[in-house]
A and B are shown apart, each in its own frame.
Chain A
Amino acid sequence: MRRSNRKAKRNKPYQIPTTTESHDAFFTIEENKDYLKAQFHHSEDLKYRPISIQDIGCLLVYLDPLVDEDKLQQTIIKPLLTKDELKIEDTVTAKEFQRSMNLYDAVSGLTKGFVMLLIEGQQYFYLFEAFSARSRAVSEPVNEQVVRGSHEGFVENIIQNLQMLRRRIENPNLVVRFFKVGKTTDTKLAIVYLQHLVNPDLIDEVEKRIKSIKADSIQTPGYVEEFIEDAPFSPFPQMLSTERPDRLTAHLIEGRIGLLMEGSPSTLIMPVTFFAFYQSPEDYNSRWYIGSILRLIRVASFIFALGLPSLYIATVSFHPEVLPAELILNIKSSLENVPFPPLLEAFIMQIILELLREAAIRLPGPIAQTIGIVGGLVIGTAIVEANLVSNMMIIVVALTAISSFAVPSYEMSMSIRLLGFPLMLLSATFGFIGLVFGLSIVLIHLCGLETFGTPYFSPLAPFRLNELKDSIVRLPRWLLGKRPSDVRPQYERQEWFSRGWKKNEDD
């Protein structure tokens, strides 16, 4: 509240001038050139190319790294020189151009890959698009691999990403809205959605929140996420981050909004429910019961990853009598010579695990494998033989780690593992009671959480039996006639008796 009431200050000198500022162009090339030089602080990648048209001196100005050389030659210099006419609009073949007298336009245009044409004796000038759109090749995102299905992944170039999206949804109702955020970086953001399907209030809300971002820079979608999410202190991610066009497409068609950012292959999907983090595009490629089993396994993995270590700690430190007699002997004999309380044991193992994971991510592939072997096998065996940690604890922690890695979304996997720590503390101080209270708090929080006005824990809270079909299990596509209602799309139905042929066959 306090922040929005603050007076909008004039931009700092290092930030990009606001659009309201202006400076009229000069009549001579020389003056204009000097002004631009001063604006760019004599930056040496600002290039000038003098040409003359009908013997009038002209000057092309551009920022070399941003301009595509082919485009500059083919669409600007060549036509100008061969036609040799001052009807610039009819000569230059660049796909976008602008005529202006405001030098601020020139400055911001140059930073976006435009070429500026100054003509001696005239106050107005032209800006032609010659942006170099080179980016890396499209490849499958490493952290969202699938066995079957599309292996396409987003790249760092927003235009190319939009192209992938447009290719998947060839529909004029697919709307792209661009935003410029970051007072210093002026980063290009785009939200995409299907007009006439998405709830209009939702679009307004998202636009409002993006427009209120006032920061020097937006470097990753994570910045945007933190600026616009509802509950920044919640451990649960409230926007789904994905690098897969098929995943984004699927969510757009459910009536959600996607957010793309220049310079980042990850896109954000909002608003999402908790269960969206447990869905993978692969579910729809395999047969429906395989998909359903996989979903159920993932839901089980959530419970394991969240509660297993704390359940174990509570059991061995407060309630050993719940264990069957045969099991209690095994557990007790593995615990017998361990000097630490179970909580400390769990912390030691979890910390070792997180260290290994963090180390393995930063290292190149082959070395990461070595770390895995040294860490996983050698430390695992040695730590048991040294009686620092019990066998059972290693099994429990390993199972927890594996379960958390089964989540298709990286952020969710981390959140859950971290959420396990307070639960462990609770169960080490209060036993099962503490665990139950901890889990209740988590459940209450999940039920109460809202993102962009939609319930996060839908379809469990509010409970909608009909929508469990595509969240906890995945039934055949022809049974999923309606879209999820948590986002309140304008049209509910998404499938109309595709298996109608079955009926006709009998006639």
Chain B
Amino acid sequence: MKKILNQLIIYSMSVLLMTGCWDQELLKESKLIFGIGYDYENNNEIRTTFTVRNLGIPVSQGGSYSNRIISTVGSSPRDTRLNMDRIISKQVTSSKLQLLLLGNEVAQQNIEHIFDIMYRDPKSPLDARVAVVDGRAEDMFKIDQIEDTLVTEFMANLIKGAENKTEAPRMTVEKTFRYSHDVGQDYALPYLRYSEEQGSPKIDGLALFHHLKYTGINLPPMDGTLLMLMSNQKSKKANIVEDLGENSNKGYLTGSVTINVRNAKSDIAYSFHNNKLTKAVINLDIKGNIEEYPQNHLFKESQVKGIADELSEKLTKRGNAVLAKLQEANCDYLGIGRDLNAYHHEAWHPKEWDKEFSGLTLEANVKVEISETGIIK
């Protein structure tokens, strides 16, 4: 009994004392990276911009949040990270990364070379948002503050806001990896542009990607919404603004109608010929409320029906334009290839899919139904 007790004491003491703090990573000893931006420097080098959070005086004692923006050049993202670590105090950790920006030029190269550093470290932040920047990411981070909001938070929240309004898909580091390696499914990242008028970044639609590269083709925000509705990705809210009627553009505030999409359902019908997909029709049913229509009170149901029909027509036209752009970019955003693989496997030729997709006949067919027109009007 006594022997066992002695052994127990020796073991537990050695477990506690000999381990010490072997893999401790104290929170207070770390520096948090909140945003990373990658830019094309020249053939062999990459420029990485980090925003690192400063926390000198606690906020509870009158301090304020501020960023330190560091930009380094190196032969790879890890190399730039190491360079950066040399000019910063404490241990740098990217585990709370919020935003990863890709400069326009760098996105057109193979992005996996950049993301490699993320996919190997178990502590890397898989839910950081990824976006493409018009111009250089470095310039965006150099804005530092927009009024009293730090630019990294500002942009991250901008992207999250766009996600809620169905203007951008929720693209995280992890999702980008999955989609970029999927032959039958392409993706789009939110596109940020510096607005000279506001002096701040803004969301400017979607940047279409094919496999691992940015195609250089963008969709404006409204078309982005339509595309996401066509791929059944409606988020909390979705708004569509469209010019209507013969009076449109004939006077002040006469032309437009805004609907708030309550419900959207999209379905793709395929036609085959000789075990080959020849045509895909995207049938999109939208149910929505009229949120704005200055011209009329809309007392009669026939008027509402008229608006719905005209909207359907216009949106179908716009949908076809969006599909044409997708084909131009060779970006299979709707995941048609994946559908084929799963449901029409005999028509699925993964090696030729790149060529097949741009040769397809894609057709949009949008049907709008108005269910509410407002409380008083």
Please name the residue on chain B nearest to A321 by beta carbon: B95
Q: How far is the CB of A147 from chain B (nearest CB, A)?
A: 37
**CB-defined contacts of B123 to chain A, threshold 8 Å:** 321
B19 with A320: CB separation less than 8 A: no
A317 with B60: CB separation less than 8 A: no
Please name the residue on chain B nearest to A330 by beta carbon: B59
Q: How far is the CB of B246 from chain A (nearest CB, A)?
A: 51
Given known A332-B55, A429-B15, A430-B19, contact A318–B32 (CB-CB < 8 A)? no
A284 to B127 CA separation, bound complex (whole angstroms): 48
Please name the residue on chain B nearest to A425 by beta carbon: B16
Per-residue CB contact flags for chain A residues 144-164 toward chain B (1 = under 8 Å, else 0) read 000000000000000000000
B23 with A318: CB separation less than 8 A: yes
Per-residue CB contact flags for chain A residues 325-351 toward chain B (1 = under 8 Å, else 0) read 100111111111110011000000000
B96 with A317: CB separation less than 8 A: no
A319 to B34 CA separation, bound complex (whole angstroms): 17
Q: How far is the CB of A445 from chain B (nearest CB, A)?
A: 14
A334 with B60: CB separation less than 8 A: yes
**CB-defined contacts of B342 to chain A, threshold 8 Å:** none
**CB-defined contacts of A317 to chain B, threshold 8 Å:** 21, 24-27
B96 with A318: CB separation less than 8 A: no
Given known A325-B96, A332-B27, contact A429–B60 (CB-CB < 8 A)? no
A317 to B123 CA separation, bound complex (whole angstroms): 15
A391 within 8 A of B: yes
Q: How large is the interface on B (under 10, 10 to 19, 20 to 34, 35 or more residues)?
A: 20 to 34
A472 within 8 A of B: no
B125 within 8 A of A: yes
Q: How far is the CB of B79 from chain A (nearest CB, A)?
A: 23
B53 with A320: CB separation less than 8 A: no
B93 within 8 A of A: yes
Please name the residue on chain B nearest to A320 by beta carbon: B27
Q: How far is the CB of A431 from chain B (nearest CB, A)?
A: 8
What is the number of contacts between chain A and chain B, taking CB atoms within 8 Å?
75
A429 with B56: CB separation less than 8 A: no
**CB-defined contacts of A333 to chain B, threshold 8 Å:** 55, 58-60, 63
Q: How far is the CB of A426 from chain B (nearest CB, A)?
A: 8
A406 within 8 A of B: no
Q: How far is the CB of B6 from chain A (nearest CB, A)?
A: 15
Q: How far is the CB of A329 from chain B (nearest CB, A)?
A: 7
Q: Which of B7-42 contact A (CB under 8 A)?
A: 15-16, 19-21, 23-28, 30, 32, 34
A431 to B59 CA separation, bound complex (whole angstroms): 27
Given known A316-B26, A321-B125, A336-B28, contact A329–B19 (CB-CB < 8 A)? no
Please name the residue on chain B nearest to A316 by beta carbon: B27
Q: Which of B226-242 contact A (CB under 8 A)?
A: none
Q: Which of A334-374 contact B (CB under 8 A)?
A: 334-338, 341-342
B185 within 8 A of A: no
**CB-defined contacts of B65 to chain A, threshold 8 Å:** 329
Q: How far is the CB of B2 from chain A (nearest CB, A)?
A: 13
A342 with B26: CB separation less than 8 A: yes
A341 to B93 CA separation, bound complex (whole angstroms): 19
Give the A interface residue count (CB, 8 A). Answer: 29
Q: Is the interface of A mostly helix, strand, loop or mixed?
A: helix
**CB-defined contacts of B23 to chain A, threshold 8 Å:** 318, 431
**CB-defined contacts of B166 to chain A, threshold 8 Å:** none
Q: How far is the CB of B1 from chain A (nearest CB, A)?
A: 11
A431 to B25 CA separation, bound complex (whole angstroms): 10
A321 with B24: CB separation less than 8 A: no
Q: How far is the CB of A162 from chain B (nearest CB, A)?
A: 40
**CB-defined contacts of A331 to chain B, threshold 8 Å:** 27
Q: How far is the CB of B172 from chain A (nearest CB, A)?
A: 13
B225 within 8 A of A: no
Q: How far is the CB of A369 from chain B (nearest CB, A)?
A: 28
B24, B60, B63: which has the most chain A beta carbons within 10 Å?
B24
Per-residue CB contact flags for chain A residues 416-442 toward chain B (1 = under 8 Å, else 0) read 000000000110111100000000000
Choose among B25, B53, B57 the residue that contacts A329 (Cβ–Cβ < 8 A): B53
A334 to B60 CA separation, bound complex (whole angstroms): 8
B71 within 8 A of A: no
B20 with A429: CB separation less than 8 A: yes
Please name the residue on chain B nearest to A327 by beta carbon: B96
Please name the residue on chain B nearest to A339 by beta carbon: B28
B63 with A318: CB separation less than 8 A: no
**CB-defined contacts of A330 to chain B, threshold 8 Å:** 59
A320 with B25: CB separation less than 8 A: yes
A205 to B301 CA separation, bound complex (whole angstroms): 86
Please name the residue on chain A nearest to B5 by beta carbon: A233
Q: How far is the CB of A344 from chain B (nearest CB, A)?
A: 12
B58 with A334: CB separation less than 8 A: yes
Q: How far is the CB of A175 from chain B (nearest CB, A)?
A: 38
A332 to B109 CA separation, bound complex (whole angstroms): 37
Q: Which of B69-107 contact A (CB under 8 A)?
A: 93, 95-96, 98
A342 to B28 CA separation, bound complex (whole angstroms): 10
Q: How far is the CB of A257 from chain B (nearest CB, A)?
A: 30
B27 with A329: CB separation less than 8 A: no
Q: How far is the CB of B65 from chain A (nearest CB, A)?
A: 7
Please name the residue on chain B nearest to A341 by beta carbon: B26
Q: How far is the CB of B195 from chain A (nearest CB, A)?
A: 25
A61 to B5 CA separation, bound complex (whole angstroms): 56
Choose among B21, B58, B125 the residue that contacts A336 (Cβ–Cβ < 8 A): B58
Q: How far is the CB of A65 from chain B (nearest CB, A)?
A: 46
Please name the residue on chain A nearest to B153 by beta carbon: A325
**CB-defined contacts of A329 to chain B, threshold 8 Å:** 32, 53, 55, 59, 65
**CB-defined contacts of B32 to chain A, threshold 8 Å:** 328-329, 332
Q: How far is the CB of A459 from chain B (nearest CB, A)?
A: 31
Choose among A316, A323, A337, A431 the residue that contacts B58 (Cβ–Cβ < 8 A): A337
A4 to B27 CA separation, bound complex (whole angstroms): 56
B125 with A332: CB separation less than 8 A: no
Q: How far is the CB of A336 from chain B (nearest CB, A)?
A: 5
B19 with A318: CB separation less than 8 A: no
B96 with A328: CB separation less than 8 A: yes
Q: How far is the CB of B52 from chain A (nearest CB, A)?
A: 12
Please name the residue on chain B nearest to A337 by beta carbon: B58
A481 to B291 CA separation, bound complex (whole angstroms): 59
Given known A317-B25, A321-B95, A332-B32, contact A429–B19 (CB-CB < 8 A)? yes
Q: How far is the CB of A320 from chain B (nearest CB, A)?
A: 4
**CB-defined contacts of B95 to chain A, threshold 8 Å:** 320-321
B93 with A318: CB separation less than 8 A: no
**CB-defined contacts of B30 to chain A, threshold 8 Å:** 320, 332
Q: How far is the CB of A427 from chain B (nearest CB, A)?
A: 11
Q: How far is the CB of B36 from chain A (nearest CB, A)?
A: 14
Given known A332-B55, A336-B55, contact A391–B24 (CB-CB < 8 A)? no
A333 to B59 CA separation, bound complex (whole angstroms): 7
Q: Which of A431-465 contact B (CB under 8 A)?
A: 431
A335 to B123 CA separation, bound complex (whole angstroms): 21
**CB-defined contacts of A318 to chain B, threshold 8 Å:** 23-25
Closest 8 CB pairs of A and B: A321-B95, A335-B28, A320-B27, A333-B58, A316-B27, A333-B55, A429-B19, A325-B96
* Sampled A-B contacts (14; CB under 8 Å): A318-B25, A319-B25, A321-B93, A321-B96, A321-B125, A323-B96, A325-B34, A325-B98, A332-B30, A332-B55, A333-B58, A336-B55, A391-B60, A431-B24
Extra A-B contacts (10), CB below 8 Å, given A318-B23, A320-B95: A317-B25, A318-B24, A321-B125, A333-B63, A335-B28, A336-B28, A336-B55, A342-B26, A429-B19, A431-B23
B: which residues have CB within 8 A of A?
15-16, 19-21, 23-28, 30, 32, 34, 53, 55-60, 63, 65, 93, 95-96, 98, 123, 125
A: which residues have CB within 8 A of B?
315-321, 323, 325, 328-338, 341-342, 391, 425-426, 428-431
